[in-house]
Chain A
Amino acid sequence: MIRASSDVPARPDAPPGAVRRARRWLPTVLVTLLISVTVLGGFVVAETLPAPEVRPVAIADVLRVRPLPGWEVVRREQATVPLASEGDISGEFAQLTRGSGALDLLALPGVGGDALELADLYATAVLTSQLERLSVSSLVDRITLPTGTEAVRFGYIGSQPQTGAALEGSVTAIVAPSGNGAVFDGWAPQGQLELISEELVAMIARAEVV
């Protein structure tokens, strides 16, 4: 079976076999465009979609957070955290999400102590009860927020018991001079925390703990 050549002669009077130079760039440019649209298109399209109007969120009269566009409150409930010694402490919990990640907020009026103790309490009393295969970073960063508030920050990875999905998160704990405490737990599926980390940092930086 002899096929007719699909190559177009360079000129009508060209000898057999002399073909037009292949267009090498066009397919490569189209492939580049396809990669770009597939990888980055979602972010561009998301920018064009209306983000739900989100008002500042006040939690337990202790914590006030201004969610960035696209973030919304999906859970809000009273919370009780068991203390290492005895008894427990009550507060309020709220969860902000943007779909691909979340920021859990825990306000604990009158928790006392310092930020490091609050971070330790959150890791041992909350994260260990919520996640399997929890691994918490051995180093804790002491940071100062733009508002001048001292805070500590640590990272963790773990998996959700129900689905087995891996999560990674970054916890920021603050204890105000009044003794009120607040915990910001930004988390996302493994590998995706970095994609929302800037927004998490921005919301934490603008938060007020009284």
Chain B
Amino acid sequence: MARPLSLARSPLHHARFVQPRLPAFWLYTSVVALTGVVAIGEQNLFREMSPSGWALSWGLVLLYAAPVAILIYLLDLYEREPIPLLVAAFVWGAVAATTLSAIGNAGWGIVVARLGGPEFASRWTAALTAPFVEEILKGVGVVLVVLIARDEVDDVMDGFVYGALCGLGFAIVEDVFYFIAVFGGDVEGVLQGFFVRVIASGLYSHVLYTGLVGMAIGLVTSRRDDRPLRDRLRSAGLLVGAAVFGHFLWNSPILEFFPPHPWEGTEWFLIPVATAVKGLPLLLFVVLAIRLAHARERRWLRVTLVSELDEGSVTPQELAILESPRRRFQARRELRRRAGDRAADLLKRLQREQVNLAMVRSRVASETDPALIRHRAVCRSLRDALEAIPGAASAVGSGRPGADRPLG
């Protein structure tokens, strides 16, 4: 039986977060450490003010954050990002961006007040400061992840994942702040805050804004986009502009359909309507952007691996399956039924290494690059091993190189 090659994971993948030789790593850790002291102090204050409300607040936001984080993670269809880097983006948003934004918003708030006067400032400061200050400071978190682990951010979807997680970290800390400081911090107040800020508004929050900013960063740093930098910068500017405008609209007195406070009876039902008026257009925009990014990834995978068909590292049938996460899952499930767990696990590894092959191929400069040759060999040996399993051969072997099957 052919044995798969022992493959050390390519250094192109799964870069470590802790990289003391990189200045960006030290900038990240210094800022998080300094702002962390302030953030912990604030949480201690909240805990002292309302221990039960504080605990309930964190319980509720984590209940919301966990599935959102998993969804964001799974949105990256081909190469899931390393957990330590995702945690780094999340922590930056939760600790550094929130603390620095409070200071930055205050400073630029003075500018707005001096230019526009106190009456104007009371209505417009939040709209004119936070979208710029907060999106820059959250976006910096994604930039630092790029600087620490350049090879991990390949394209738009990677940027979205890091940006959205950074925004999620920011959102949950801000939510806890609002539950305690704005909604009173008692159980009733926290539940009201959870309804207003998470149930009614959670879909439109910082996850979207920073997801778009992350997409822009992914576009600029993309390894797969052959367009000139100027063109990519223009597209990135549009994405950042959409994020800032969405944030501006959310914070501004424009399209304000919230019922006057305090809310009673049916007024509570108006709140999701009021938030949807401001937030739904941006949500739809982000959904569209994600679909386009997925289509872009599929196109990249197809174009990159089509030229591998002659090398035997991927077959037309495998490529057709590889493009769709759903088809990949179905193929594994079918193989598990026919040939057992080991065959399904091998197929999963083959699929992963074929995606990795596409990554390696788009990064190396030569057809004869040793990393590329090694990866081709790994894919071929994995298929050989798979075909040696009784019951698996007919499933994976029908599309051997040279069979010239349609791509499906």
Contact = CB atoms under 8 A, between A and B. Distances in A.
A165 B143 contact: no
Contact of A42 (B106, B177, B307): B106
Contacts of B118: 72, 74, 97-99
Interface stretch (B155-163, B282-290, B316-324, B362-370): B362-370
B22 interface: yes
Contacts of A191: 42, 102, 177, 181
A35 B108 CA distance: 14
Interface in B348-388: 361-367
Nearest to B23: A28
B107 interface: yes
A10 B117 CA distance: 56
B110 A70 contact: yes
B139 to A, nearest CB: 9
B183 A24 contact: no
Contact of B137 (A27, A35, A159, A190): A35
B24 interface: yes
Given A35-B140, A74-B118, A166-B182, A99 B110 contact: yes
A208 B363 CA distance: 73
B303 interface: yes
Contacts of B106: 42, 100, 192, 195
B24 A31 contact: yes
A190 B177 contact: yes
A191 B176 CA distance: 13
- Size category, B interface: 35 or more
Given A38-B100, A98-B113, A135-B49, A2 B108 contact: no
B308 to A, nearest CB: 10
A2 B364 contact: yes
Contacts of A41: 104, 107-108
A190 B181 contact: yes
Contact of A16 (B122, B304, B307, B366): B366
A43 B140 contact: no
Interface of B: 22-24, 27, 31, 42, 49, 100, 102-104, 106-115, 118-119, 121-122, 125, 129, 132-133, 136-137, 140, 143-144, 147, 177-178, 181-185, 189, 223, 226, 260-262, 303-304, 307, 361-367
29 contacts: A1-B361, A2-B367, A5-B365, A7-B365, A28-B147, A31-B143, A31-B147, A34-B136, A35-B31, A39-B133, A41-B107, A42-B129, A97-B113, A99-B110, A99-B113, A99-B121, A99-B122, A99-B125, A100-B109, A100-B125, A132-B184, A157-B181, A159-B181, A159-B183, A159-B184, A166-B182, A190-B181, A191-B102, A191-B181
